[in-house]
Every structure is written in C-alpha cells, then in structure tokens.
C-alpha cells in the first residue's frame, strides 16, 4: 500500500489517501478543468473518483460526506496525458553505441523502471512503446500492471520490424564478425512470408501492437534517413497479419515514398513523417491515418548534431537534414486537416520530459486547445482506447494530471505537473512524489 512519510501525513491529514486500499471516494475540486472532448476549459468542477474509475463530473464544488477532498488552488486539471511514441527501455546517450555492446538486457530492464517512473511523474499516465530490444517493454508493462513497479500504463510493440540493413537492424554498422544474419525471429524481414512470421512471433511474445520501419532513420549508422526500406508487398503483408491478430500498425517513415506505401498498405499511424508531401497528406485524410510528429526530438538531435563528436558523422549529417523540416511538415499537415496524435520519441532525449512537444506545436500554428487534445482524446483514439482513456468522463479510468496556472495562457506549465493520478491511485500531489510501496509487500 502507498504510504506517506509522517511529516506529509501531518500536513495533509485531512486529505490523506490510502491509494491501494481505498474504501471511500476521492473528490477533486478543480478550479479549471480541460474538457478534451469539446476542447473547452471549464470552470470550477468536482470530479468524484471511486476505486479506479471516475464516478461523477459535476459543475461547481461539492463535497460528498466521507470523501477525501483534494483542492487544486490556481491549477488546471486535465485528463492523464498520453504519449503515443516512447522508448521506455532505452535512452540515447553520448555513450550509447558502447553501451549497446557492453550492457545486458537486464541492465536496460532495471534502468527502464526509473525511466517509467519519471514518465509517470511528468503527468503521462499512458504510453505507446514503439520499439525495444528483447521484448523487455513487455515485461515492464506486466510488472507495472502487477504493481511491482511505478509507471504509466503501457501499450507496447516490442521490437520494431524492419529489413536487413534498415533502421531496425541493430547489427547495421558493426563488423562482419558481429553482424550475423538476423531474420524474422529477430524482427528482420525480406519478403511477405517473413512479414507474417515476424508478426506471429510478436503475437507469441505478447505485444499490444506492431511497429515497422518503412524508411531509413536518423540515429542508425546507415547513410539515409528517408529512403524506402520496405516494399509495398512487405507492408501489405505486415498489415494483413497484424490486423488478423487485432493489432494496429505504427510505421516509422521519414520519406514521402515510404509514407505513401504505408498509407496505401493500411497502417494506422505515420511516425515522424518528416518529408510528407501534399499527396501523402491527402492519402492520409482519405485513409484516416494518424500523424505522430515527434517534434522536439527533431529539434533535440539537430542541436546535438552541431556539437563536435556528439554523434557519428553519418548520424550528424542526417540529423541536420531531418531536424529543421519536421515543424514545417507539422504546420502543413495541420492546415491540411490530417489527424494528429501526441508522440515524442522519448528515449532519444532524456525520459520524463514528454511535455516538450507542446511548445513546438504552438510554434507550428496549432492552437493550445488542439495541442492538449492531441495528448488526451486524440492519443486515446489512436490507441483505440478512447472509451477508457483520454477524457475526464464518468466510467473512464480515473487518470488525472494537474498543472499550475492555465496551459491555454502559458503552455510551458505542462512541464510542471503538480498532481498525478492513474486509475484512482495518487502518485504525486502538491508537486511532490508520494512515498510508494508495492502492494505485494
């Protein structure tokens, strides 16, 4: 059961919450509440939480008898935030390539518990994990669900599926003795038959969705970020297999041709989409394909690429080409009416900073209300979990984040989460992490 220190219990005696054995309702008095469905900021609102779910949302303040009441002076309540593109079991550092050769899967698994906690405390209660090694994010998801580890609700794709020598091939750039010949069991495909086998292997390992690499990427050791790396037939086969198993398909794609093939093939979302052209945008609208732009990551790698030795030369060259284009593409896609969901590529930059994509969205001409919707109801719709997540609505999971001030006036407050509740459990209050013990203890 979650406990607070004695000092915190004294200062918050009336509001104390036994979060894993709640016998009474929790009532949230929100002076501002963002309604993600309408895109409007509501005034004083009472949110009644019973167990893991939201029981009532009432205009004005009410205090049901016996309830634990939490006040949010000068704060804004929002639905628990959703990041639809993270890498919780990795973090790209200056020593990243050496670590890949010297660390074990268990090292990354242990580190991921800290990265997951940082993400949750930043106000992101749900994430879509798009790529790992050794299916370790499946284990992280399971341990969070079982109550052993603090972290967001995870929907994971496991390892990304790609082609030999492509962006998902982690042996790319290694010497011949280390390369080997990874195949579909290692998520490397060359042809439609391999695609079916790779998806079925992912099903066997317990993933929630499928991620494919349809184009080159920035941080691998190859020379191109945007060339197509999967054929139309391979993409078609992955999508057909994935949909047979009830999976959605997210696709990493920078180049216009890779995007076009992916949309025609029936994928559910385009990740990055750097060189998306007008034809791609029209196809995405026609096919109701989501766009997950990962803007801050592009800015981050661009700035790091300017530092001598921060990246290998071929990586730096690609970063300087890709980085400046993303915000231009986002502005054009928004104007064209492409559906946008929030995703950061967290792990390329340090974990726990998922909020950083909000400001660049506004720079691209996106209204603050829509930016907040991308990280709430839109992100939930992409996950096909909008009946459970994405808005503060009776019956949905009690996922609530609060920030100081009003993000519609100052979007930077999204980086200052003062309160975090996931499924009725409070992990952060008054800007302070609550002391937590596993319910298994």
Q: What is the CATH number of the domain that holds 163?
A: 3.20.20.140
**Predicted local confidence at residue 171, as pLDDT:** 67
- For residues 86 and 73, membership in a common domain is answered with no
Q: What is the CATH number of the domain that holds 408?
A: 2.30.40.10
- For residues 130 and 13, membership in a common domain is answered with no
- For residues 55 and 92, membership in a common domain is answered with no
- Measured on CA atoms in the order 246, 260, 163, 189, is the torsion positive or negative? positive
- Measured on CA atoms in the order 422, 83, 374, 261, is the torsion positive or negative? negative
- Interatomic CA distance for residues 134 and 297, integer angstroms: 24
- For residues 307 and 411, membership in a common domain is answered with no
Q: Is residue 419 part of a domain?
A: yes
Number of domains in the chain: 2
- For residues 71 and 194, membership in a common domain is answered with no
Of 383, 404, 423, which closes a domain? 383
pLDDT tens by residue, 175-220: 666 667 777 888 999 999 999 999 999 999 999 999 999 999 998 8
- Helices and strands, number each (H, E), in the chain: 14, 20
Q: 0.75 exceeded by the pTM?
A: yes
Does pLDDT of 17 surpass 50? no
Domain hosting residue 319, numbered range: 81-383
CB atoms within 10 A of CB 307: 10
CA atoms within 13 A on the CB side of 114: 8
Greatest alpha-carbon pair distance for the chain in Å reads 70
Q: Is residue 152 part of a domain?
A: yes
Q: Report residue 147 as tokens.
A: 């109550």
Q: Is residue 369 part of a domain?
A: yes
Q: Is residue 438 part of a domain?
A: no
- Interatomic CA distance for residues 31 and 189, integer angstroms: 53
**Predicted local confidence at residue 105, as pLDDT:** 87
- For residues 235 and 362, membership in a common domain is answered with yes
Does pLDDT of 14 surpass 50? no
Of 366, 383, 400, which closes a domain? 383
- Interatomic CA distance for residues 298 and 300, integer angstroms: 5
Residue 16 has phi, psi (to 5 degrees) of -60, 145
**Predicted local confidence at residue 97, as pLDDT:** 67
Q: Is residue 441 part of a domain?
A: no
Helices 278-287/313-336 angle, 10° precision: 60
- For residues 97 and 75, membership in a common domain is answered with no
Mean pLDDT for 89-99 is 78
Q: Is residue 440 part of a domain?
A: no
Q: Is residue 1 part of a domain?
A: no
The pLDDT mean for the chain works out to 91
pLDDT tens by residue, 307-321: 998 888 888 999 999
- For residues 264 and 310, membership in a common domain is answered with yes
- 3-state SS class at 238: helix
Which has the minimum average pLDDT: 80-84, 162-166, 280-284, 287-291? 162-166
- 3-state SS class at 15: helix
Nearest alpha-carbon partner for 218 in 265, 189, 255? 255
- For residues 109 and 52, membership in a common domain is answered with no
- For residues 359 and 270, membership in a common domain is answered with yes
pLDDT band at 64 (very low <50, low <70, confident <90, very high): confident
CB distance 81 to 124 below 8 Å: yes
pLDDT tens by residue, 329-371: 999 999 999 999 999 999 999 999 999 999 999 999 999 999 9
Q: Is residue 344 part of a domain?
A: yes
- For residues 376 and 401, membership in a common domain is answered with no
- For residues 63 and 158, membership in a common domain is answered with no
Q: In terms of DSSP H, where are the helices of 180-312?
A: 192-205, 232-244, 256-265, 278-287, 295-305
- Interatomic CA distance for residues 126 and 422, integer angstroms: 9
């Amino acid at each position: 059961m979650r406990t607070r220190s004695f000092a915190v219990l004294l200062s918050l005696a009336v509001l104390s919450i036994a979060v894993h054995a709640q016998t009474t309702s929790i009532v949230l008095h929100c002076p501002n509440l963002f309604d993600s469905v309408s895109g409007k900021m509501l005034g004083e609102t009472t949110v009644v939480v019973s167990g893991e779910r939201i029981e009532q949302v009432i205009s004005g303040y009410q205090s049901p008898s016996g309830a634990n009441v939490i006040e949010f002076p000068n704060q804004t309540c929002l639905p628990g935030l959703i990041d639809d593109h993270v890498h919780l079991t990795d973090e790209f550092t200056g020593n990243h390539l050496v670590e890949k050769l010297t660390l074990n899967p268990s090292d990354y698994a242990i580190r991921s518990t800290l990265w997951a906690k940082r993400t949750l405390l930043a106000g992101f209660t749900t994430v879509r994990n798009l790529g790992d090694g050794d299916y370790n994010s499946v284990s992280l998801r399971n341990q969070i669900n079982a109550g052993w580890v603090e972290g967001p609700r995870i929907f994971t794709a496991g390892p990304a599926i790609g082609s030999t020598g492509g962006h998902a091939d982690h042996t790319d750039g290694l010497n011949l003795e280390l390369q080997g010949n990874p195949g579909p069991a290692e998520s490397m495909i060359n042809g439609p038959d391999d695609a079916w086998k790779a998806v079925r292997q992912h099903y066997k390992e317990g993933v929630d969705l499928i991620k494919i690499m349809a184009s080159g990427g920035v941080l691998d050791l190859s020379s191109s970020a945007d060339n197509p790396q999967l054929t139309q037939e391979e993409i078609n086969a992955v999508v057909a297999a994935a949909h047979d198993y009830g999976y959605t398909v997210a696709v990493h794609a920078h180049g216009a041709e890779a995007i076009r093939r992916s949309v025609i093939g029936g994928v559910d979302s385009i990740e990055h989409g750097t060189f998306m052209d007008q034809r791609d945008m029209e196809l995405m609208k026609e096919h109701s394909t989501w766009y997950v732009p990962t803007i801050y990551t592009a800015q981050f790698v661009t700035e790091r690429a300017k530092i001598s030795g921060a990246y290998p030369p071929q990586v730096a060259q690609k970063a300087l080409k890709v980085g400046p284009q993303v915000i231009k593409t986002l502005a054009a896609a928004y104007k064209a009416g492409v559906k946008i969901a929030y995703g950061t590529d967290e792990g390329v930059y340090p974990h726990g900073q998922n909020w950083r994509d909000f400001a660049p969205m506004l720079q691209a001409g996106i209204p603050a209300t829509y930016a907040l919707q991308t990280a709430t109801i839109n992100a939930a719709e992409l996950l096909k979990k909008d009946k459970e997540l994405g808005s503060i609505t009776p019956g949905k999971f009690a996922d609530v984040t609060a920030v100081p001030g009003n993000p519609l006036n100052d979007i930077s407050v999204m980086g200052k989460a003062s309160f975090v509740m996931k499924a009725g459990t409070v992990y952060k209050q008054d800007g302070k992490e609550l002391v937590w013990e596993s319910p298994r203890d």
